[in-house]
Every structure is written in C-alpha cells, then in structure tokens.
C-alpha cells in the first residue's frame, strides 16, 4: 500500500513538474512573441504616422493648386454655375417625335415601340423640296425663380413693396 501511494505521488510529482516547466517555457515563449508583435505594431504605427504626415504634405492646397494648373486647369465655381434648388434645374428635353412621314417613303418599318428613337437619317422625304416635318423638342418650363415678375411701379416705401409682393402672389 505504501509502495503504491509512493508510486502514485512520484508519478504525480513528475507529471506536475513536467507540466509546470512546460507551462513556464510556453509562457516565456509567448511573452517573447508578444513583445515582438508589440514592437512590430509600434514600428508600423510610426510608419503610419509618417505616411499620414507625408500624405498631408503631398495633398496640401498649394500642391493641389499647382497640379490643377499643370494638368486640369479647373477654375473656381462661378455663382451662375450653382443651382441652389431643384426647381432651378431645367427638365430634360424630350426626344424629337416624327410626324406625318409618308409610309411609302420609309425604307423599313420600325417597330412601333421604337418610333421615338428612329434616327431621322433613316427617313427619306417624299421629295427633296418637302422634307419630313420633325416636331421641335418641347422646351422646359422656365424655373419659378428664374421667371422675372412683370415690370411694376417702383415701390416708394417698404409697405408699398410688401403690398406689391403680396398682390403678385
């Protein structure tokens, strides 16, 4: 019994000692690896900071302005180029619509759905003197703010001006 317990304790001590040393050296190895990774991270952080500073240097307004002058020649935005609201943007012009084209003059009948997209070059007029009529594109309605009010009498006071504005609405 004593021999068995001694053997048990001996095995346990051996296993524990081995495990403890394995853990110790494993931890030391991991700590070394961690240090290496941390050093690499710090080095990368320094490199990133240097890159950010370099990027700031390369994209400073003076450099961009010089590059623009050399390669793009972009100018400042003029006030008239700015559209401040949606109603200032003109509507898209519709495609031209062909009307009253002689049937016999059409060399090939296009499908009905594509009538609006047929180029005018494919339509041969009945006679050179009478070309086929092409509907003028519909002009977009002028924007509300662009419409100038009808000339009215020049207001002589603030109250008169307010009354005129109210009446025009």
Partner 1 sequence: MTIATQRFDDNPCRPRHFKPPPCVAVIPDGPAKQALETCRTRLLVTGGLFALVFAVVALRVIEIVAVGGGTAESQIARFRMVTAPLPSHADIVDRNGNVLAASLDSPSLYANPKQILDPPEAASKLVSVLPTLAAAEVYAKLTSGKSFVWIWRHLTPAEQYSVNQLGIPGLEFEHEERRVYPDGDLTSHVVGYTGIDNAGFAGIERGLDGVLRGRREPLQLSLDLRLQYILREELQRVIDDFTAKGGAGLIMDVNTGEILAMASLPDFDPNRPTAPDPEHPAVPLADRMFNRVTLGVYELGSIFKIFTVAMALDCGTATVTSTYDASHPIRIGRFTISDYHGKHRVLSVPEILMYSSNIGAARMAVAAGAQTQRDFLARLGLLKTPKIEISEVGAPHYPAKWREVNVMTIAFGHGISVTPLSFATAAAALVNGGILRQATLLKIPDGYEPPGQRVISAKTSEQMRRLMRLVVEHGTGTMAAAPGYVVGGKTGTADKISGRHYAERKLLSSFVGVFPINDPKYLVLTMVDEPHPNKQSHGYATAGWTVAPATSRIIERIAPLLGVQPVDESSPEVQRALMVESLQGKRIEAY
The answer to whether residue 44 forms part of the interface with partner 1 (CB under 8 A) is: no
Alpha helices (H) in 59-112, listed in sequence order: 61-67
Tell me which DSSP letter residue 127 carries: B
CA terminus-to-terminus distance, the chain = 113
The answer to whether residue 73 forms part of the interface with partner 1 (CB under 8 A) is: no
In the complex with partner 1, which residue's Cβ is closer, 123 or 143? 143
The answer to whether residue 89 forms part of the interface with partner 1 (CB under 8 A) is: no
The answer to whether residue 11 forms part of the interface with partner 1 (CB under 8 A) is: no
> What is the largest distance, in Å, between two alpha-carbon atoms of the chain?
130
What does the block give as tokens for 91? Answer: 């509507």
The answer to whether residue 69 forms part of the interface with partner 1 (CB under 8 A) is: no
Among 7, 10, 49, 116, binds partner 1 (CB under 8 A): 49
The answer to whether residue 50 forms part of the interface with partner 1 (CB under 8 A) is: yes
Q: What are phi and psi of 98, to 5 degrees?
A: -90, 130
Taking the complex as a whole, the smallest distance from the CB of residue 133 to partner 1 amounts, in Å, to 39
């Amino acid at each position: 019994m004593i021999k068995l317990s001694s053997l048990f304790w001996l095995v346990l001590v051996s296993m524990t000692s081995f495990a403890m040393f394995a853990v110790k050296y494993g931890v030391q190895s991991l700590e070394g690896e961690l240090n290496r990774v941390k050093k690499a991270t710090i080095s990368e952080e320094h490199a990133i900071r240097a890159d950010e500073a370099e990027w700031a240097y390369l994209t400073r307004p003076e450099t961009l302005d010089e590059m623009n002058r050399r390669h793009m020649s972009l100018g400042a935005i003029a006030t008239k180029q700015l559209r401040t609201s949606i109603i200032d943007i003109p509507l898209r012009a519709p495609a031209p619509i062909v009307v009253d084209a002689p049937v016999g003059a059409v060399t090939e009948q296009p499908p009905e759905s594509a009538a609006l997209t047929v180029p005018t070059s494919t339509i041969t007029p009945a006679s050179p003197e009478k070309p086929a009529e092409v509907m003028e594109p519909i002009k977009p309605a002028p924007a509300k703010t662009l419409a100038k009010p009808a000339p009215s009498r020049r207001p002589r006071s603030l109250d008169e001006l307010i009354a005129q504005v109210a009446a025009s609405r």
